[in-house]
Structure 1
Amino acid sequence: MLTLTNDILINITKQVAIYFGIPVLCAGLLGNILNIIVFLSLKTFRQNSCAFFLIIMSFLNIGQLLTSLVSRIFITGFNNNWTETSISFCKFRNYCLQVCALTSSTCMCLATIDQFLVTSLRSRWQQLFNIKRAYILCIVFFIIWLLHGIPTLIWFSPVISRRTNDITCTITNLNYQQYFTYGYTLILTGMLPILITVVFGTLAYRNVRQIRFRRVPIVRRELDKQLTSMVLIQVVHNFFVVVPYVTVLIILTSTMPTNYPSNYMQIVLAIAITGFIYYLYFASPFYIYFCVSKRFRQQLNHVLFGRYKKRPVEQIISINQVLPVFQEF
């Protein structure tokens, strides 16, 4: 009976990987590419520090989806685990996973802090972030996370699991295992970015409600409101997709015995489901922006189709010699 149950759970896990993981991968790649196109095509975004953080985050999300989610789909859905046969890939995958995840969440934190500062009533705080400082912060944190991941290249290796007697890509150093569980997974991936984004997102929301009292150009005011709403909804979304996965990993590491437990496949299924939900963090930003912001939808339409709509106008201009007033989004 246990074998039958395990077979069913294994099949469910595979179906989750194939029919949920692959759509998330495709939608995530398309969405992040569209994000980059929109943000880089409009001068309004290119000169904005918050938008710059979102651009860098989109590049990192693509890297995370290609290096981590693709291999996860092959491992779980098709039983093709490259980390078991290649020491290099075992180390490389986990290293890239850490660097991309931490840098992406850092950019999200910086974007939330940026929106709190620029919507503040204090003019000094509004000047703390600019595009040059955004460049510097991204470079500094990227270097930090590159160095932070070096132990992964040392202590991740394919070994025979005591629980399953199968070869798994895991940590071979006990001290680093403890840090990876509580330092990286619980704090750096879970608690710290959630705490930062929730706190500063709440403060930014309070500032936006008072933004009409600020004496700023209406274009800047609308841009601040747009970016703040986009970031705030993403903060709420991230909370619900990150917390379940981190919680399951912590419970698994803290309570799972060294021998093979009777409910092992239930645990594997829980990790698979929450893990693929976690990848929505990297796949969904574009769709959040598209649903939340009417202005973003207009900007997307302008970037993708505006050039084709301008051709008849340009022909009319050449005949009437009248220049229209064009305002970039």
Structure 2
Amino acid sequence: MAQLSQAITIYLGSTICIVGIIGGFLNILVFLTLRTFNEKSCGFYLIVMSFVNIGNLTTGLLSRILISGFHLDWTLISPFYCKFRWYGLQFGVLTSFTCTWLTAIDQYLSTNRRIEWRRWSSIKLAHRVMAAFIIVWLLHGIPYLIYFDLVQSPITDKLVCASVNKILQYYHTYGYLILFAGIIPLVITGIFGLLARRNVRHTVNGTISLVQRYLDQQLTKMVLSQLFYNFIFTFPYTMLTTIMSFIPAVNDSLISTRLDFANVMTILVYYMSFASPFCIYTCTSERFRQQLTYVLLDVHLKRWRRSPSIIINAMASSQVEKGETSAV
């Protein structure tokens, strides 16, 4: 089972990492190119989330592949990396999930019938709210820098990267993993996502322009689809973490091996919540597929083709000017 876990981690984990990073960059390309996204607060949250998801995959999943797939654990080599990895993980995960439920709340506000509520869906306000949460999550991770270190495991007698503070151990399991990175994002995103969907369905003709209505429908569909798959991807790891927190230390090697296998598998599935947004948007939104095609082919490909011709024309013009000058 250990060899199976290692093989799955290497091949499946690498696939998730590569697809997620490429998809994240394509999301950023579309969101930054089109004004329908980069001038809206909802689009701003999606841009930030795409950047953070790439960071989660490169720092979190990549190190998980090295640990479980190649038995190369840098956290056991460097105490600083032990601290920094958990600090970066908690910041990236919480920021990504924060962007998800802020997007759902923003969609509820932007699709509301009341004009005064729609005014809260502002790009300037989104910048301030996002900056505030980034500062909060950066400060939130300071205990990880202080109390995470290389300690001797009482079960295996091996060095592990873990918290040396009992209070932080309990908070890490019940506060961070189960509450902030599990239940709260799913609940908030679910409630406001469904409210936004109801707003879009009951939009009164004339209160919102037709173009705006189509964009709201697209964004609401994208947010709800991501909520559904985030629940599928994060629920197994959250449940396993909760169950294992109530189970005493297991001395049976067979049970311990099976629990380790289940833990590795649920972690890989968990990282799919950061790797899957592009695939979700592409599969669920026909308009996003059209926008992606337009951005890649009609905007950037044509710009790339024009660039060499512009350079050649400029060189030709300079040569002509030199010839004219020499003739004079």
User: Corresponding residue for 1:221?
Assistant: 213
Which stretch has the larger CA shift, 98-107 or 207-216? 207-216
Letter in 1 for 2:31: F
**SS, match of residue 168 in structure 1:** strand
TM-score normalised according to structure 1 size:
0.89
Is residue 173 from structure 1 mapped to residue 148 from structure 2 by the alignment?
no
Contact map agreement 1:162 1:259 (CA 8 A) in 2? no
The aligned residue for residue 299 of structure 1 is: 291
For the residues of structure 1 that align with 2:254 and 2:244, how far apart are their CA atoms?
A: 13
Distance of 1:166 and 1:12 partners within structure 2: 23
Write out aligned runs for 1:77-96 (5 A): 77-96=69-88
Q: Distance in 1 between matches of 2:239 and 2:147?
A: 24
Cα distance, 1:178 vs. partner? 0.8
Aligned-residue offset at 1:117:
1.1
Mapping for residues 3-42 of structure 1, pairs under 5 Å? 9-42=1-34
Deviation readout 1:188-238 (Å, 9 max, x if unpaired) = 011111110111111111112113535222111111111110001001111
SS of residue in 2 equivalent to 1:159: strand
Code of the residue aligned with 2:180 in structure 1: it is L
Code of the residue aligned with 2:105 in structure 1: it is: I
Give the distance between the partners of 1:207 and 1:230, measured in 2 at CA. Answer: 15
Q: Which residue matches 1:268?
A: 260
Q: Give the Cα–Cα distance (whole angstroms) in 1 for the partners of residues 45 and 111 of structure 2.
A: 17
Output the CA distance in 1 between the equivalents of 2:254 and 2:34: 56
**Which SS does the other structure have where 1:169 is aligned?**
strand
Between the two proteins, the alignment pairs up a number of residues equal to 304
Moved over 3 A (4+): 258-262, 307-312
Report Cα offsets for 1:58-94 as digits up to 9, x if no partner. Answer: 0000111111111000000001111111101111111
| Partner of residue 51, structure 2 | 59
Q: CA–CA distance in 2 between the matches of 1:234 and 1:16?
A: 25
Map of 2:226 onto structure 1: 234
Distance in 2 between the 1:16 and 1:126 partners? 47
1:153 to 140, 145, 154: 145
The answer to whether the 8 Å contact 2:113/2:207 transfers is: no
One-letter amino acid of the structure 2 residue matched with residue 116 of structure 1: Y
Aligned to 1:164: 156
C-alpha distance after superposition, 1:89-129 (max 9, x if no partner): 11111100000000110010100001111111122111112
Query: Could you say what secondary structure the match of 2:2 adopts?
Result: helix
User: Aligned residue for 2:315?
Assistant: none
5+ long unaligned stretches in structure 2: 307-328
Alpha-carbon separation, structure 2, partners of 1:151 and 1:160: 20
Q: Distance in 2 between matches of 1:271 and 1:304?
A: 39
CA displacement at 1:262 relative to structure 2: 4.7
* Aligned AA (2:134): F
Counterparts of 1:217 and 1:208 in 2: how far apart (Å)? 12
Pick from 122, 131, 135 the counterpart of residue 127 of structure 2: 135
TM-score (norm 2): 0.89
Contact 2:200 2:213 in 1 (8 A): no
Return the letter of the residue paired with 1:161: S
Shift of 1:54: 0.4
Partner of 1:70: 62
Equivalent of 1:110 in 102, 105, 111: 102
Aligned to 2:149, the other structure's residue is in SS state strand
Secondary structure in structure 1 of the residue aligned to 2:156? coil
SS in 2 for 1:281: helix
Contact 1:41–1:303, Cα closer than 8 Å, also in 2: yes
Contact 1:85/1:158 (CA < 8 Å) preserved in 2? Answer: no
The match for 1:46 is 38
Deviation digits for residues 157-199 of structure 1 (CA, Å, limit 9, x no counterpart): 1112112222111111111111111111111011111110111
Which runs of 5 or more residues in structure 1 are unaligned? 1-8, 313-329
Matched-pair identity in %: 44
Q: Which one-letter code corresponds to 1:96 in the other structure? A: G
Give CA-to-partner distance per residue, 1:294-320, whole Å, 9 cap, x none. Answer: 1111111111100356989xxxxxxxx
Q: Given that residues 109 and 196 in structure 1 are in contact (C-alpha distance below 8 angstroms), is that contact kept between their aligned partners in structure 2?
A: yes
